[in-house]
Amino acid sequence: MEGLPYLIAKSDWGAVWRTLNSSPEQVSIPVPTNTQEIVYPLHQAVCNTTKPVTENILDLMIRVFPKALDLNVFLGACQNPRLSSRSLEFLLDSASPEVSRMLRTNVKRYASIAVKRKNIEIVGLFIDRHPEILHSSDILILACTCGTGKMVELIIKAGHENNVDRGGGIFIKNKDKEDALDVAMRLFDEKDRETYSILAICLQYANAARKGKKEPVPYYPILMAAIDWCPPVVFQKVMKLNMHEMVNTDKIGKLAILKAIRLASEESFHSELPDIFSNQILLDACTTGRSEVVKKFLENQDDTASHCKEKPQGRTKRKNVENALEIAIRLYDANNNARCEVLKNCVQYANASKMGLRFQVSEAYPTLLAASGLVPYPILVSIGKKYKKETKIKNHAAKFALEKVLRLSQEYGLFPKRLDRRLQFPRNIKTTRTASSRSTLDSIPE
């Protein structure tokens, strides 16, 4: 009769079952190995990756020889990428009190082994039984390092379900001052589908956390999620992989994506203006509210073509002297059409200069979009209402893009350099939308 170790090695579980019933003593005989460590058939069966052992075999082995169920068995179980969570759960329920205590003490170690072996079922089981392992960055960062996108998503979701701080754990720093998103971006390789999947999941959940949500919006564009998170080199790679998202949106969507990218990448967008905004003629026209003079003056500038190609040099604002845009903002009155048009002309020209476009005051470029990043957020809300007919959009991608622009504009006024995007402040932005932000977003027509 062939011995039990041979049958287990062959994954002949039917023969193993018969042998256990006819010669149960074989389960207590150590398996020959090249080490001094004592290994019983139970450990060998749990480690089988060819055809995972069935629960009835495990049950019989443990009942016949309970001593075999030691920490070595659990180590082997976590190292087996094909072992089911049901099998491990049975082993956990069958362990002695002493073994169970040692497992609880070292649960993070065993869960980490399962992460490295990409066994998402076992990782999920450990999290269900010991959610305390989620309150540090270790498991999630390890999953970003050597796990899968599905595993990373499972851990972040579990973090939210167990009220783990910092976006479900995605922003918890490790000893190297990196969080899961940092690691995902550092390890991202556009040629490796799994690292892209991990980064995409992290970006989606980071973006959702930034908006005070636990779950990403279904089908939210990866390109949009990546804006204002990734360093330029990484963002360019993500954009290259997701150019179809820009192609498949409408004109307003394309303009909004480009504006969001510029807002996220250039702090100077909010401060530097073309020299023309210090011209006395323009200053006087903005002060007196002569919108037609402002429009004509800006349209007739000789440097219209050149300012589209050259970046403005320095700031136009002199000490204690307002520029034309600041005057237009200060004197803005939503109930005064002339004042609205003065500000509209100024933001359209300033935006055209910064975006490398030709100046034009028309519905081709929505005023709300042009004003984003150039005016205080409450005024941007008012502009959104005043010129809402300009922002008629045809698909969700365009709406997501416009919302992204508005959020960046809002955050710039709330947080220095948008530091709170990683929920660094105690009272961070995981709140419901304010009345002003609701009125802006609701003003975007479907």
Instruction: Give the DSSP letter string of 213-269.
Output: -SSPPTT--HHHHHTTTS-HHHHHHHHHHTHHHHHTS-HHHHHHHHHHHHHHH-GGG
Q: Which residues contact 262 (CB under 8 A, 6 or more apart)?
A: 269, 354, 355
Sign of CA dihedral 383, 386, 390, 392: positive
Q: How much is the pLDDT for 284?
A: 97
Residue 192, pLDDT > 60, answer yes
Q: How confident is the model at residue 427 (pLDDT cuts 50, 70, 90)?
A: very low
For residues 123 and 108, the answer to whether their CB atoms sit within 8 Å is: no
Residue 381, pLDDT > 60, answer yes
CA angle 258, 263, 269 (to 5 degrees): 115
Q: How much is the pLDDT for 361?
A: 57
User: In angstroms, rounded to a whole number, what is the distance separating the alpha carbons of residues 178 and 199?
Assistant: 14
Q: How much is the pLDDT for 321?
A: 77
The two tokens of residue 440 are: 């802006």
Lowest-confidence region among 64-78, 414-428, 430-444: 430-444
The two tokens of residue 89 are: 């759960």
User: In angstroms, rounded to a whole number, what is the distance separating the alpha carbons of residues 397 and 420?
Assistant: 25
Residue 7, pLDDT > 60, answer yes
pLDDT digits (tens, 9 = 90+) for 273-288: 888 999 999 999 999 9
Domains of the chain by residue range: 4-129, 270-442
The two tokens of residue 343 are: 């500000």
Phi-psi region of 52 (alpha: psi -120 to 50; beta: other; left: phi over 0): beta
Q: How confident is the model at residue 411 (pLDDT cuts 50, 70, 90)?
A: confident
Percent of the chain with pLDDT over 90: 72
Indicate the pTM of the whole model.
0.85
Residue 230, pLDDT > 90, answer yes
Across 152-161, average pLDDT: 98
Q: What is the residue-averaged pLDDT of the chain?
A: 88
**Tokens 């992989």, located at residue:** 241
Q: How much is the pLDDT for 330?
A: 96
**Tokens 């995902």, located at residue:** 184
Q: How much is the pLDDT for 444?
A: 52
Residue 446, pLDDT > 70, answer no
Across 243-261, average pLDDT: 91
For residues 144 and 202, the answer to whether their CB atoms sit within 8 Å is: yes
Q: How much is the pLDDT for 310?
A: 45
Q: How much is the pLDDT for 248?
A: 87
Q: How confident is the model at residue 356 (pLDDT cuts 50, 70, 90)?
A: confident
Across 277-306, average pLDDT: 85
The two tokens of residue 88 are: 């491990």
Residue 362, pLDDT > 80, answer no
Q: How much is the pLDDT for 225?
A: 96
